[in-house]
A and B are shown apart, each in its own frame.
Chain A
Amino acid sequence: MKKTIEMKRRTFLVGAAAAGGGLALGLDLPFGAKVAQASAQGGPEVTAWVVIKPDDTVVIRIARSEMGQGTLTGLAQLVAEELECDWSKVTTEYPTPGQSVARKRVWGDFSTGGSRGIRESHEYVRKGGAAARTMLIQAAAGEWKVPVSECSAANSVITHAPSGRKTSYGKVAEAAAKLQPPADVPLKDPKDWKIAGKGVKRLDTVEKTNGKMIYGMDVVLPGMLNAAVKDCPVFGGKVKSFDAAKVSGMKGVKKVVKVDDSSVAVVADTWWHAKTALDALPIVWDEGPNAKVSSATIADYLKEGLDAEKAFVANKTGDSKAAIAGAAKKVEAVYAYPFQNHACMEPMNATVLYTADKCEVWTGTQNGEGAFAAAVQASELPAAKVDVHKIMLGGGFGRRGRSDYVIQAVKLAKQMPGTPIKMIWSREEDMLHGTYHPITQARMVGGLDDKGNLVGLHMRISGQSILASALPSRMGPDGRDPVTFQGLNPAGEFAFGYAIPNLTIDHAMRNTHVPPGFWRGVNVNQNCIYVECFMDELALAAGQDALAFRQKLMAKHPKNLAVLNAVAEKIGWGKPAPAGVHRGLAHFMAFGSYVAGAAEISVAKDGKEVKVHRIVGATDCGHAVNPAQIDRQVAGSFVYGLSALFMQECTVKDGRIVEQNFDTYDSMRIAQMPKVESIIMPSGGFWGGVGEPTICVAAPAVLNAYAAATGKRIRSFPLKNHGIALV
């Protein structure tokens, strides 16, 4: 009756390691390592990225994680494009991080965050495809004893034009796999793409419509038990005691386990039994010093940072202080953005089988290698005895880049050697132990001259650094967190889109005990609200049109200007809107892409109800690998962003998060969905991200339309705190 996921034999990993990873030594290029290995699905490996079966099925290896964003399909398109294979015969598989480590990281980076999946691996995956094509052609030429130059490949068929002979990839794959890969291979000009650049259908859809797709939560192993877990609800607190005897006789309960200093689990035959017993388990917590922290104390702490002397300066031109002091008009506003949970549809979970000589993990992770490292550490076994099998993610949004739940599951399974344990967090546990969107406030001060020109701007951010707790090794040498300044930097993939003669953007770091994390879009969510809402405030004070006011400051930022103009034109900016409809605009640069949004809204009940009718979203991501998927990412990012704007806040009381489920932490439904019109305008020459960038423009575009509709400028979020609902 039960589906059992195939336990992939580890011979692949062990075999590669035993053969001496030396086979791959000295070959740093991800496509270069030459280890003749079979795919888990069968068939010879031509390059690390390409396996071809005798029936011509092409198995493309994907190192990054699919979590809905379409990277699996996009990366496969890029490999297939260079491979010249028949797209209808393409399937994919995930290599494991353990296999990758054993082969000198032949598949490169597994980490899937920061909208990097395609933009940071497109070159080496394409080379992996191109090298395989070259080898397949060479194998066919060798068989026919003709010059390689007389052979060509298309649609998985190799042709020798002079003789008219043809063969298929499947027939020569075995011979090709024995050849040395070429030292380097030229790549196609994107203008010649036939598979990449097209809105082909996703490769993972059918199983997502018939219930057959296996997510981490669906993993079933022979003899498996299930675990429910509770970590101290106050961050930094510990387990003082628990009374296992009270629940050990409950139905299905096998064991009550202290997982680590701060968490307790019940292991049972089913998860429902485990959860029921865990809810009945008396646990006494040592809540520690953080138990007195509340949203109000955190807000006060951040407010103090708005005036602090010391701050990390990220972007400075001229003398903003003097310019503002001498300005004809000074405009000032303070904004605040809350903690938010990712609330992935699938709560965190991991399944682990630990024995004295191996530790295997099955989990949905955005960071295969991070999860692997975490499992090695938590299991205390050598890396060669550990592996992580990546399972489909029921949402990631940044949350599954952290391996806390993997560590917990390994520590738990370690206490029951030989028994596979599936640990699932309840939604409540997931809400209480997130890695939250960081909390910040910002004071914006601008100076306008007598003609309404912006002569000076000071943006002071006060609040949390993500890196300080999540990745301290990536902090700047002076202790700054560069991630805080996404969208505000003088240059780079998160560049500020305005030229202002006197500008200061700085950050007074104020960290809290609530752990922050990377949350789809990360810091551009609030930074874009702060900048783009304030730009409207400045335009209003200057008595100028919001678009024209911006355009004057954007001459040096033509790509920002192009996306902004594109949405303005499509929304009908400057032309009369339908009766009762109001418009707002925003633009930004994020994750290497230029994005803009324009919204049309109407309000009712004295501004307490907002209907978002349309949002136009434009993105210039350089190269568009799958426009149909980009279109979906734009619309999906707006759902995520508007849910956050209107509905979502994690408040803190007695040191813990208050909101524990969707009844207090709501998310948009279909009735609230605006019509999203995306404009994909890749200008070429660079590779920008897609999954995150557009998220940041939805909120300020709607807020600016709201101010236009009501005359009220809202500066703290979510809007539900002002009694404003999305309808």
Chain B
Amino acid sequence: MVELKVNGRAYQVDVEPETPLLWALRENVGLTGTKYGCGVAQCGACTVHVDGQPVRSCSLQVGDAVGKQITTIEGLAAGATMHKVQKAWIEHDVPQCGFCQSGMIMAAVALLKEKPKPTDADIDAAITNICRCGTFQQVRAAIHDAAKA
């Protein structure tokens, strides 16, 4: 049994410490907004924040996340108020199939925390997520708009 702090709440989770954080979040905590796409830290669909840093949760063991603040897509909004990145995503109608978008949004939020006014080069460097539908043009525009909000 380990304790995970997710979206400001403590969860007692019955998993082995070597379980990937992704699967503990999805199957034990019950938050399925974080997606499995590759399991090898390539696609970024599983991106969450651990102590504010974007992390590919498929490749972080639960044991290494204990005691840290974990934020998932479900924890991004402040109550009924969506995060400015989510608002920009809706404004630009970014998602197509949407499966990669939780990770994409989490990566964008982390970027804006680091660089409130990112350049295109900053976006290129920070957003390394795969989107098979090809929403990149809208992702870029939405990040720039969120930066102005």
Give the interface of A toward B (CB within 8 A): 1-3, 67-70, 201-202, 204-215, 217-218, 220, 226, 251, 270-272, 343-347, 392-397, 424, 426-427, 628, 632, 635-640, 643, 661-663, 667-671, 673, 675-676
* Contact present for A662 and B43 (CB under 8 Å): yes
Contact between chains at A210 and B99 (CB < 8 Å): no
List B residues 59-90 near A (Cβ within 8 Å).
Answer: 72-74, 76-77, 82, 86, 89-90
B37 and A345 contacting across the interface, CB-CB below 8 Å: yes
| B→A interface (CB under 8 Å) | 11, 15-16, 19-20, 23-24, 26-40, 42-43, 45, 72-74, 76-77, 82, 86, 89-90, 93-102, 105, 123-125, 127-140
How many cross-chain pairs have Cβ atoms below 8 Å apart between A and B?
Answer: 186
CB pair A202–B27 under 8 Å, yes or no, is: no
Whether B27 pairs with A211 at a CB distance below 8 angstroms is: no
Question: What are the residues of chain A within 8 A of B136 when measuring CB–CB?
Answer: 635, 639, 668-670, 673
Instruction: Establish whether residues B131 and A639, one from each chain, have CB atoms under 8 Å apart when the complex forms.
Output: yes
Closest 7 CB pairs of A and B: A211-B33, A639-B134, A394-B99, A208-B98, A68-B97, A68-B96, A636-B134
Shortest Cβ distance from A46 into chain B, in angstroms?
29
Complex CA gap A520/B37 in Å reads 19
Nearest-neighbour CB distance to chain A for B133, whole angstroms, equals 5
B143 to chain A, nearest CB (A): 9
Q: Which residues of A contact B131 (CB under 8 A)?
A: 345, 639
Instruction: Determine chain A's interface SS by DSSP, over half rule.
Output: loop
Given A204-B98, A394-B35, 20 other A-B contacts at CB below 8 A?
A201-B90, A202-B93, A205-B93, A208-B98, A209-B89, A210-B82, A210-B86, A211-B72, A214-B32, A270-B27, A343-B132, A345-B131, A347-B37, A392-B98, A427-B39, A636-B134, A639-B132, A668-B130, A668-B136, A670-B129
B134→A668 contact, CB < 8 A: yes
- Tell which of B24, B37, B89, B125 has the most Cβ of chain A within 10 Å: B37
Chain B neighbourhood of A214, CB < 8 A: 32
- State whether A427 and B137 are in contact (beta carbons under 8 Å apart), knowing that A208-B98, A394-B97, A394-B99 are contacts in the complex: no
A427: B residues at CB distance < 8 A: 37-40
B30 touches A669 (CB 8 A): no
A213 to B73, CA, bound (A): 11
Return the chain A residue nearest B130 by Cβ. A667
**Residue of B31, B42, B95 touching A662 (CB-CB under 8 A):** B42
Sample (28) of A-B pairs whose CB atoms are under 8 Å apart: A67-B97, A70-B96, A202-B93, A208-B95, A210-B74, A210-B76, A211-B102, A217-B32, A251-B16, A272-B24, A344-B99, A345-B132, A347-B37, A424-B36, A426-B39, A632-B138, A636-B135, A639-B136, A640-B134, A662-B130, A667-B132, A669-B130, A670-B124, A670-B129, A670-B139, A671-B128, A673-B140, A676-B137
Q: Which of B15, B27, B134, B138 contacts A638 (CB 8 A)?
A: B134
